[in-house]
């Protein structure tokens, strides 16, 4: 069933954008949800907005910092109980031509998009393995499948492809221990992250629309049902999969 009644979920980077919508979708299906974000103020506001039928709380975390991730797991477990669902959504993009990209920029993107997913999966995963029960959903991107010409974001594309392989690796390691691990690869969904790219390169929107068979960008709320599917028993035999949701862009 799609129900998440009585379950506890963490969504990283959920103060805004896709994470906020996915947190809202999980709460609508009955889960208590922790809005885990480096932006404490925004996380507080989002938690207050989503708090309703179920409990929605904010927790501050920098997913690149292992001690911070461990503190998040403890905080959420204390306040909401053992974690059934983890959505690794926190992610950043830095656009720059490869030959001009500084190592600091490269490392920032790898730290959030790849180290962050690994660290949260490791520490929440440990708890799930002890209980023999849990579902993890990692947010990759269609950029982890295809390079979107003319964008210059080698670090982003590389980390998002890495998220797919990390998803498969964890699914295999934990497959017979009750923990399922899947990923979602969204196309262009209209969030701040995408607006930032368009602010720098407004002409890109037309190219994107031309390359999207459905002829429009995605709406962030269109991720809700997909994350609920992967986070619930509705997907009980699905693990190691990356589901693309991109209006046909990569087809
Ligand atoms: P966004 O920039 O709107 O939100 C990202 C959130 O992550 C912010 O609240 C930010 O504070 C938080 N965050 C950043 N660094 C963090 C850290 N170190 N620790 C904890 N939180 C941190 O982005 P979005 O568009 O909602 O994207 C969410 C995810 O979806 C990202 O992984 C992104 O790569 C992926 N994605 C987005 C699109 C899109 O079109 N918007 C497409 C494909 C994939």
Q: Is ipTM strictly over 0.95?
A: yes
Q: Which of 11, 13, 144 to mutate to test the pocket of ligand 1 (most atoms within 8 A of CB)?
A: 13
Q: Residue 220's pLDDT is what?
A: 97
Q: What is the residue-level pLDDT of the chain in tens, covering all 251 positions?
A: 999 999 999 999 999 999 999 999 999 999 999 999 999 999 999 999 999 999 999 999 999 999 999 999 999 999 999 999 999 999 999 999 999 999 999 999 999 999 999 999 999 999 999 999 999 999 999 999 999 877 799 999 999 999 999 999 999 999 999 999 999 999 999 998 888 888 988 988 999 999 999 999 999 999 999 999 999 999 999 999 999 999 999 99
Question: Which residues partner with 181 through β-bridges?
Answer: 136
Q: Residue 194's pLDDT is what?
A: 87
* 245's tokens: 């949701």
User: Does 17 contact ligand 1 (Cβ within 6 A)?
Assistant: yes
User: Does 138 contact ligand 1 (Cβ within 6 A)?
Assistant: no
Separation of CA 169 from chain center? 17
Q: What is the CA radius of gyration of the chain?
A: 17
Of the candidates 246, 157, 223, the one whose C-alpha atom is nearest the C-alpha of residue 18 is 223
Q: Residue 1's pLDDT is what?
A: 95
User: Does 193 contact ligand 1 (Cβ within 6 A)?
Assistant: yes
Tell me the CA–centroid distance for residue 138 and ligand 1, in Å: 12
Domains annotated for the chain, with CATH where assigned, are 8-245 (3.40.50.720)
For the CA of 142, the closest atom of ligand 1 is 43
Q: Residue 201's pLDDT is what?
A: 86
Q: Are 134 and 178 in contact (CB under 8 A)?
A: yes
Tell me the CA–centroid distance for residue 89 and ligand 1, in Å: 6
Q: Residue 151's pLDDT is what?
A: 79
Q: Which helix (DSSP H) or strand (DSSP E) does residue 242 occupy? A: strand 242-245
Tell me the CA–centroid distance for residue 193 and ligand 1, in Å: 7
| Known active-site residue 156 | yes
Q: How are beta strands 85-88 and 32-37 bridged, if at all?
A: unpaired
Q: Which of 67, 90, 159 to mutate to test the pocket of ligand 1 (most atoms within 8 A of CB)?
A: 90
Q: Which of 16, 91, 212, 250 to mutate to test the pocket of ligand 1 (most atoms within 8 A of CB)?
A: 91
């Amino acid at each position: 069933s799609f129900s998440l009644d009585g379950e506890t979920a963490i969504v990283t980077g959920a103060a805004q954008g896709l994470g906020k919508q996915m947190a809202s979708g999980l709460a609508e299906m009955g889960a208590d949800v922790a809005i885990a974000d480096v932006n404490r103020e925004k996380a507080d506001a989002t938690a207050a907005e989503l708090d309703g039928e179920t409990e929605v709380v904010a927790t501050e975390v920098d997913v690149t910092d292992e001690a911070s991730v461990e503190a998040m797991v403890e905080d959420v477990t204390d306040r909401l109980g053992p974690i059934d669902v983890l959505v690794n959504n926190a992610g950043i993009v830095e656009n720059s031509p490869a030959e001009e990209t500084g190592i600091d920029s490269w490392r920032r993107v790898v730290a959030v998009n790849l180290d962050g997913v690994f660290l949260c999966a490791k520490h929440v995963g440990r708890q799930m393995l002890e209980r023999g029960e849990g579902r993890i959903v990692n947010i990759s991107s269609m950029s982890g499948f295809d390079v979107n010409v003319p964008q210059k974001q080698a670090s982003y594309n590389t980390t998002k492809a890495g998220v797919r392989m990390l998803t498969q690796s964890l699914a295999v390691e934990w497959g017979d221990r009750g923990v399922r691990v899947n990923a979602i690869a969204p196309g262009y969904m209209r969030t701040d992250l995408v607006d930032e790219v368009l602010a720098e390169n407004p002409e890109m929107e037309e190219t994107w629309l031309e390359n999207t068979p459905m002829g429009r960008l995605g709406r962030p709320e269109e991720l809700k049902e997909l994350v609920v599917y992967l986070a619930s028993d509705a997907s009980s035999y699905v693990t190691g999969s990356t589901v693309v949701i991109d209006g046909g862009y990569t087809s």
